[in-house]
Structures are given as C-alpha cells and as structure tokens.
Amino acid sequence: MSEQPTVFIVDDDEGVREAIVWALRKEGLHVESFPSAEAFLATVPADYPGCLVLDVRMQGMSGLDLQQVLNAHGCEIPIIFITGHGDIPTTVRAIKAGAVDFVEKPVSREILIERVRDAFREDERRRHQRAVRAEVHSCYQTLTAREREVMDLVTNGLSNKEVAQMLGISPRTVENHRARVMTVMQADSVAQLCHLATLCS
C-alpha cells in the first residue's frame, strides 16, 4: 500500500462503493475500498495518511462503531460520513466524535471531491500539530526535574523572586534554570513558553 494520501472507502453497498471509487480515481486521487469496517481495520495501519469515506449503516460493525474504535486507538484520520438514512441525532453523534463532514446519498461527484480535498488538508494540519507536539515533548523530556518545576511556576505567572521563595533557592539560581528552560524549549518569550507548556500537558 502506497504512503501517499489515500481515500479509504468503507461501504457494504458494492454499487455505491464502485461509483465512488471511479469518481475519485478519475480525479487522480489514490483510493482503496473495503466492503466492511472489519476489512478496513484488518488492512489499514492506524496512522495512515488520507481520509475515510464511511457509510453509517452497514452489516456487522456500523460506521459509528468503527469511528469509536478508531478514536479509542488514537487514530485521527478525518472521516466523511455518507448515508442514505440521515437523521439529526446520528449526525450530531458523528460530528461530536470528530467527523469532519456528513453527507447524504446520493452524493454528487463535485461535492464529494471537494469534501475529500478538505479532509486531506485537515489530515495534513493534524499531522503537523502532532509533529510539533512530539518535538515539544522531546525537548521537555531533556529538562531536569528542577527545571520543569521552574517552568511550571514561571508559566503560572510567578516572578523569579516568588519562584525562589517557593522552591527555597536563590533568585540567581532561578534565573539560570529559567534561561536554560527558554533555550531548551526554544522559546523567545514567556508567552511562547506558556503556549509550549500547554502542549506538554
């Protein structure tokens, strides 16, 4: 299976599945299709780039059940739900669980392509965020326990003097710890350090 962004189609209606595959491949998109949620789970890695076009109602595991399984495994692939039986409670449940879109059958080719491209952009955005978070965590792990304490107190608004009093160390020592924290975390300001701290939580 190629590592390029892929549209994964999961629908137990063979006719619908083939029509969607044809429409997307004609647009030059890389597509893989599956007749069931179980077949998808058995084949596709959890962190595969792309998006998922998923039928709500299927034999066996439903689309909403598959979404729940993916969420439980930390898989953040953008999901576009399609259904011939749309209703507000189902839509609300899908969107609250992280679906990026919900469209009713029959889906027009133009709308589907537009939604898929939007989902690809969302997938790229999420992957970038995860990469940034991973880099921040990596930097944070190199700090000593004391430096983490100083970072926590500084990002909670305490001055060097207040941090020194709380930790029972000199203000000069706090300054040294703080300077190293700023360097290691690649922060140019306390405001930026506060933002980075939120990524470490």
So what's the pLDDT on residue 104?
A: 82
Question: Per residue in 9-64, pLDDT tens?
Answer: 999 999 989 999 999 999 999 999 999 999 999 988 878 899 999 998 888 899 99
Question: Per residue in 149-187, pLDDT tens?
Answer: 999 999 999 999 999 999 999 999 999 999 999 999 999
So what's the pLDDT on residue 88?
A: 64
> Is residue 90 very low, low, confident or very high in pLDDT (cuts 50, 70, 90)?
confident
So what's the architecture of 142-200 in CATH? Orthogonal Bundle (1.10)
- Indicate the pTM of the whole model: 0.78
> Per-residue b/e over 15-32, b at no fewer than 16 CB within 10 Å?
ebbebbbebbeeeebbbb
Domain ranges across the chain:
6-129, 142-200
So what's the pLDDT on residue 86?
A: 64
* 6-129 and 142-200 in the same fold: no
Tell me which residue has tokens 């880099």. Answer: 135
Q: Residue ranges of the alpha helices (H) in the chain?
A: 14-26, 37-43, 63-72, 88-96, 109-141, 145-154, 160-167, 171-184, 190-200
So what's the pLDDT on residue 87?
A: 66
* 119: three-class secondary structure by DSSP: helix
**CB of 68 closer than 8 Å to CB of 97:** yes
Tell me which residue has tokens 């469209």. Answer: 103
Closest CA to 20 of 95, 116, 86: 116
6-129 domain in CATH 3.30.70.1230?
Answer: no
**CB of 10 closer than 8 Å to CB of 53:** yes
